Structure 1
Amino acid sequence: MRYPGFWQRRGLWARLLWPLGRLVCAEAARRRRRASGRAPDCPVIVVGNLTVGGTGKTPVVIALVEALRAAGHTPGVISRGFGVKVGIEPVDLAEAVAPSSCGDEPWLIHRRTGVPVIVHPYRREAARQLKARYPEVDVIVSDDGLQHHQLARTIEWVVVDGQRGLGNGWCLPAGPLRESPAVLDEVDAVLVNGDEPSRHGAGTRGVPAWRIDFHPQGVIDLFDQSERPITDLAGREVIALAGIGNPARFFAMLEAQGVVIDARALDDHAAPTQTQARAWLADGRPVVMTDKDAVKWPEMPTRAGQVLVVRGGIELPPTLLENTLNTLQS
C-alpha cells in the first residue's frame, strides 16, 4: 500500500477524512475490547504495528526467533503472506516453491531461520496447522498479527518506524493508523526502529520501550553467493533498490556507509519487472538491494559484482529478551 504524504500532517485532506478515521479507531477499539480468541497449547508472541506500511517487523521476527532458539525453545512462525491468495489449506514454507505462493516476508523468514513457517489469512487456523504439523514447536511467533484477535496471545510487541512514527496520529483513511495510539499503553513492549522512543510517545506510561537499529553485516553477491564487507562500497556509485515499507530508511543506511546511491524506490512488496532488472544490469553500476527485494529479483546476474544484497539484522535489547523469557516460563 502506498503511503501518501498527507498522512504525516493534519492538513486539509486528513481533516476531511477524519470522521471516517474516528469510525475505524472506534471499531478497532471495540474488537480489542471484545477479543476472546482461542489459544493453542503453547505461548504466542505477536510482533505487529499500529500503522500500515513497513516498520521493520521482519528483522525483529528473525531476531526473536533466533533468540528463542538460543534460549532452548523450538519456535515456529505464522503469517498472513501479504499479496498472496491462500485457500482452505495453508501454505507450509517447507513445501513452497517461490515467494509468489507464500509472500516475500514469510519466504525470507524461513530462509534466514529455517524454522517452520505457516501462511494462512486466519491466524488461529495457521497456529492450529503449525502445531499439527510440527508438534515440537513450543512458542509461536505471529508476524503482523496485532489486529487479529481470533488468536489469543501471551505477549504483544509493537514495532514503530522511527522516521514516520505514528504519522499524524489519526486512523485510516485520515492517517496511517490501524487503531488508536492508546494501544501503545496496553502492549508488553514497544520497539522504535531507528529513533528514541520518547520522540514518539512510547515508554511514558509504564510500557517498556526500546530503540532498535538495523546493523548491516555485509553484502552477498547474488552471482556466486560470496560475501564482502559493506565498507567495500564506500565511495562507489550504485543503483539502490528498495521495495519495502519505508525505502528511505534503507537508502539512508547506505549513505551512512559512504555509498553514493541512485535510489529506485518501489511500493512495499513490489517486485521489479524483468525489463527494469535488465536495464539496471546493463547500466554498469552495481545494483544493491535489501534481503526482501532479493527474493523477488527476476534476472540472475551474469558476472560478479552486478547484484549485491545487504545482509544484516538487529540486536534485541537484553532486558526485553529477559522479560520475554521470564513470561514464557511463568
Structure 2
Amino acid sequence: MRSLEKAWYRKAGWLLLLWPVSLLFQLLASIRRFYHSAVARSQRPAVPVVVVGNISVGGTGKTPLIIGLAKALRKAGLRPGIISRGYLGKAPDYPFIVEKNSSAEEVGDEALLIARSLGDCPMVVDPDRLRALEKLCSSFHCDVVLSDDGLQHYALPRDLEIVVIDGKRLFGNGMCLPAGPLREPVSRLRSVPYLFINGEPEGDELPPELERAERLSLQPTFLVNLQTGEKKPFKGAPFNIGTTVHAVTGIGNPDRFFTLLSTLPYQVRRHDFPDHHPFSAADLEALAIDPRQPVVMTQKDAVKCEQFAGRNYWYLAVEMKLPDAALASLLETIQGLVEQRRGTVEAV
C-alpha cells in the first residue's frame, strides 16, 4: 500500500492505466451517495450530527480536530458525544460503548485515543454508524454528536460536514481510487461548509476548491513517558543534544511526524510500520533498540504499546490550533444547530 501511495503523490504516469477503473469507482460512489443521502434526509435524530472526515485515504489530522472540537464544545457548555466505525477493532458485540479501559484490539487505535483524550465524553463504535448514533442517543444525554470520519457513510444523517486536508500532500494526482488517493472527486468539497488545511501547503497556488479553507495546525506540547506518565516539554530539548532518538510510527502519513522530530538537536532514526499496525512486544524487540536510547511515537501508536513498552518509550502529545475567528464561527454554527433542534423537539 505504501508504494501505491507514493505513486499517487508523485503522480506516476503508469497510474493512467487505472483511470477507467477510477471512473467506474467515481460513478458508483455518486450513485451510492445519491441513494443513501435521500434515505438519510428522511431521518432526523434528536440531536444534530457533525461529520468530520476527508476525501482522501490516509491520515489528514481529523482525529486531533475531533478531540479539540469536543473540548471546545464542552467549554462552551454543550455535551458532545462521539461515534466512530472503530476501524480494525473487534468488539465483542456492536454497538459498543468505549471506556477508558477499552483496548485498541476492541475499538481500534483512533477510537481509543479519542476516548482517552476526552475522559468522560461518551463514545460508541460500530461499523454501522447509524446504529452507533442510535445507541449513543439512547444511552447518553448529548446535545450534539461528532462522527469520527463517515463523510462517505451516506446512510448517516448529518447536519454539518467538516473536511480536513493534508497541506503537504493535498490531493495527489487528483484521481479517485484506485488510480489516485481520492474517495470522492475534489468537486465534492464545494458542498462542504467547513474546510481545514492541516499544515502549510507547498507552492504558491491552491486549488480553487481550497481558497476558502482555514489553516489548522497541530502543535507539539509534551513528550510523555508510556510507563510513568512523566512529561517533558517538547521545546525544552528533553534529551541530551546529539542523542540518538528512535522514531517509531504506524500511521497513515508519517512524514509530518518525522519532520517535526528532525527539528530537534538529535540523531533521529526512522522506523516505519503500516498504518494502524497492531504493535506487539515482538515488533519492538525486533528493532533491537538500546534501552538507553529514547523511543518516540505518536499518541495513537502509544495506546497500543502501553502494556509492553520499556522505560525509554515516549509519545508526542499534540494540540489542535485553529484561528480564533474560524473556531468561533464553527462553535456558533453548531450552537445554532443545537438550539434549532431543541426548539423542534419542544414544539413536537
- TM-score, with normalisation over the residues of structure 2? 0.87
Rate the CA distance shift 1:87–1:29 in 2: closer, same or farther, 3 A.
farther
Distance across 2 between alignment mates of 1:170 and 1:159: 18
Rate the CA distance shift 1:312–1:273 in 2: closer, same or farther, 3 A.
same
1:164 to 147, 165, 169: 169
Q: Deviations over 1:171-193 (max 9, x none)?
A: 00000100110011110111111
Residue pairs, 1:3-82, within 5 angstroms: 3-34=4-35, 35-36=37-38, 37=40, 38-82=43-87
Larger mean Cα displacement after TM superposition, 285-294 or 252-261:
252-261
Amino acid of the structure 1 residue aligned with 2:247: A
Q: Who is 1:211 aligned against?
A: 215
Amino acid of the structure 1 residue aligned with 2:248: L
1:272 to 279, 289, 292: 279
Distance across 1 between alignment mates of 2:255 and 2:310: 29
Distance across 1 between alignment mates of 2:94 and 2:58: 27
Larger mean Cα displacement after TM superposition, 62-71 or 277-286:
277-286
1:105 to 110, 131, 145: 110
Q: CA deviation at 1:314?
A: 1.1
Larger mean Cα displacement after TM superposition, 318-327 or 35-44:
318-327
Rate the CA distance shift 1:193–1:202 in 2: closer, same or farther, 3 A.
farther
Rate the CA distance shift 1:281–1:63 in 2: closer, same or farther, 3 A.
farther
2:231 to 195, 214, 227: 227
Amino acid of the structure 2 residue aligned with 1:218: F
Rate the CA distance shift 1:313–1:192 in 2: closer, same or farther, 3 A.
same
Q: Deviations over 1:87-106 (max 9, x none)?
A: 76211112863110010000
Q: Who is 1:241 aligned against?
A: 248
Structure 2 residue 192 is matched with structure 1 residue 187:
yes
Q: Secondary structure at the match of 1:73?
A: coil
Q: Deviations over 1:217-265 (max 9, x none)?
A: 0101122111111232454221101111111110001112333210011
Larger mean Cα displacement after TM superposition, 289-298 or 94-103:
94-103
Amino acid of the structure 1 residue aligned with 2:246: I
Rate the CA distance shift 1:291–1:235 in 2: closer, same or farther, 3 A.
same
Rate the CA distance shift 1:95–1:225 in 2: closer, same or farther, 3 A.
closer
> 2:29 touches 2:184 (CA, 8 Å); kept in 1?
yes
Distance across 2 between alignment mates of 1:12 and 1:252: 28
> 2:248 touches 2:271 (CA, 8 Å); kept in 1?
yes
Q: Deviations over 1:82-128 (max 9, x none)?
A: 11245762111128631100100000000001211100011111111
Distance across 1 between alignment mates of 2:91 and 2:195: 30
Q: CA deviation at 1:26?
A: 1.9
1:294 to 292, 295, 302: 302
Larger mean Cα displacement after TM superposition, 24-33 or 174-183:
24-33
Q: CA deviation at 1:161?
A: 1.2
Q: Secondary structure at the match of 2:238?
A: helix
Larger mean Cα displacement after TM superposition, 222-231 or 15-24:
222-231
> 2:217 touches 2:322 (CA, 8 Å); kept in 1?
no
Q: Who is 2:128 aligned against?
A: 122
> 2:94 touches 2:125 (CA, 8 Å); kept in 1?
no
Q: Who is 2:88 aligned against?
A: 83
Runs of at least 5 residues in structure 1 that lack an aligned partner in the other structure: none
Q: Who is 2:346 aligned against?
A: none
Q: Percent identity?
A: 39
Q: Deviations over 1:65-85 (max 9, x none)?
A: 111111111001000011124
Q: Secondary structure at the match of 1:4?
A: helix
Note the aligned Cα RMSD (angstroms): 2.1
2:329 to 305, 312, 323: 323
Rate the CA distance shift 1:259–1:144 in 2: closer, same or farther, 3 A.
farther
Q: Secondary structure at the match of 1:77?
A: strand
* Number of residues of Structure 1 aligned to a counterpart in Structure 2: 325
Distance across 2 between alignment mates of 1:188 and 1:81: 26
